């Protein structure tokens, strides 16, 4: 009697559905590599790395002049030498000091405050493109880089402000309670600078050539911001100016922070030289640049260091 062998039907192996894999990954806390976190989570991660941001900015500041014989003295000498050049060209040769009381404190204050904004934006522009090795090697919120560079420039400004106090006293500017206004001015300016730095960091990461263009943009911005001349004084000598030009120059964020610092530190710089609602304007620029720049930078978080 012959036996009939029955071959079992082939077993079909079904690959897990993509939804099942996603559910499994979520159950075990796995996420997509390099995915952009939520805004709240991103802020939490950034805050958790605040010590890294502070240490990184301090290390960069210390190393900046490590090869120079005068070392950290150049942190004060650089803006002072710039102020001396501007005084000779604009104050003496072009006569912008005429009619401006306490012109040297006026000029040095403008140069120091402008240098803070200029240096922060230039450093921010190269924050990602100039640190690709760090960006590709380590996982951290990329906003830490432009913020740390801005903090580095803020630390350098504090050295300059110490020299500025000496200059103010040497030229007979008295110490007054209004000097305390320098603190909120610097907080607002730092927020503005950090926001613009993050905007430029994203732009510079995508198009590194922007770093070559920025010096020309910043130089033009400096000339219209009243660093070496008084916007209010010059406007009085040009009655033929269009009606919109003076308010536009005064509302320029760089000019706002410079003139607010002059108002805080120099007693001959009066409130009448400031635009109306100047504190509201300064706060608005800080929030617009700070919040808007942070969100704009965060939206491209997963693209930094790729390509």
Query: How many other CB atoms are found less than 10 A from the CB of residue 21?
Result: 12
In a domain, 14, yes or no: no
Rounded-to-integer distance, Cα 250 and Cα 276, Å: 9
Rounded-to-integer distance, Cα 191 and Cα 291, Å: 9
Residue bearing the bigger pLDDT, 19 or 112: 112
In a domain, 2, yes or no: no
Query: How does DSSP assign 90-112, residue by residue?
Result: IIIIS-TTTT-TTHHHHHHHHHH
Q: Which of 11-20, 54-63, 187-196, 263-272 has the lowest mean pLDDT?
A: 11-20
Mean pLDDT, residues 119-134 taken together: 92
In a domain, 22, yes or no: no
Q: How far is CA 285 from CA 116, 189, 279, in A?
A: 16, 9, 10
| pLDDT tens column, 214-240 | 999 999 999 999 888 888 877 776 777
| Cβ neighbours of residue 186 closer than 8 Å, sequence gap 6 or more | 154, 157, 261
Mean pLDDT, residues 177-205 taken together: 96
pLDDT beyond 90 at 254: yes
In a domain, 125, yes or no: yes
Number of structural domains in the chain: 1
Mean pLDDT, residues 266-285 taken together: 93
In a domain, 228, yes or no: yes
What pLDDT score was predicted for residue 1? Answer: 46
- On average, the pLDDT of the chain sits at 85
Percent composition of the chain: helix, strand, coil (DSSP 3-state, to 5): 70, 0, 30
Percent of the chain with pLDDT over 70: 85
In a domain, 129, yes or no: yes
In a domain, 149, yes or no: yes
Q: pTM (2 decimals)?
A: 0.85
Q: Produce one character per residue of 164-189: b if its CB has 16 or more CB atoms within 10 Å, e if not.
A: beebbeeeebeeeeebebbeebbebb
Q: Which domain holds residue 280?
A: 38-301
In a domain, 134, yes or no: yes
Rounded-to-integer distance, Cα 222 and Cα 117, Å: 10
pLDDT band at 59 (very low <50, low <70, confident <90, very high): confident
Rounded-to-integer distance, Cα 164 and Cα 260, Å: 15
Rounded-to-integer distance, Cα 48 and Cα 36, Å: 17
């Amino acid at each position: 009697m012959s036996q009939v062998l029955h071959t079992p039907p082939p077993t079909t192996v079904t690959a897990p559905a993509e939804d099942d894999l996603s559910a499994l990954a979520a159950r075990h806390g796995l996420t997509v590599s390099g995915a952009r976190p939520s805004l709240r989570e991103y802020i939490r991660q950034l805050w958790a790395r605040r010590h890294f941001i502070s240490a990184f900015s301090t290390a960069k500041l210390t190393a900046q002049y490590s090869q120079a014989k005068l070392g950290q003295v150049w942190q004060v000498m650089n803006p002072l030498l710039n102020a001396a050049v501007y005084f000779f060209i604009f104050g003496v040769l072009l006569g912008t000091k005429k009619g401006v009381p306490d012109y040297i404190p006026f000029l040095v204050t403008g140069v120091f405050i402008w240098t803070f904004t200029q240096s922060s934006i230039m450093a921010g522009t190269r924050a990602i493109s100039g640190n690709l090795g760090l960006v590709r090697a380590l996982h951290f919120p990329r906003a830490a880089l432009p913020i740390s560079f801005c903090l580095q420039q803020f630390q350098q400004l504090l050295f300059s402000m110490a020299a500025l106090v000496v200059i103010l006293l040497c030229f007979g500017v008295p110490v007054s309670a209004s000097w305390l206004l320098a603190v909120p001015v610097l907080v607002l300016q730092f927020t503005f600078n950090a926001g613009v730095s993050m905007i430029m960091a994203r732009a510079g990461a995508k198009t590194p050539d922007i770093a070559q263009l920025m010096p020309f943009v910043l130089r033009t911005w400096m000339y219209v911001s009243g660093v070496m001349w008084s916007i209010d004084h010059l406007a009085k000598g040009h009655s033929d100016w269009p009606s919109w030009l003076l308010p536009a120059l005064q509302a320029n964020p760089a000019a706002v922070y410079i003139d607010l610092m002059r108002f805080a530190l120099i007693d001959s710089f009066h409130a009448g030289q400031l635009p109306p609602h100047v504190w509201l304007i300064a706060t608005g620029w800080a929030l617009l640049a700070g919040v808007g720049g942070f969100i704009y930078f965060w939206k491209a978080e997963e693209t930094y260091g790729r390509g």
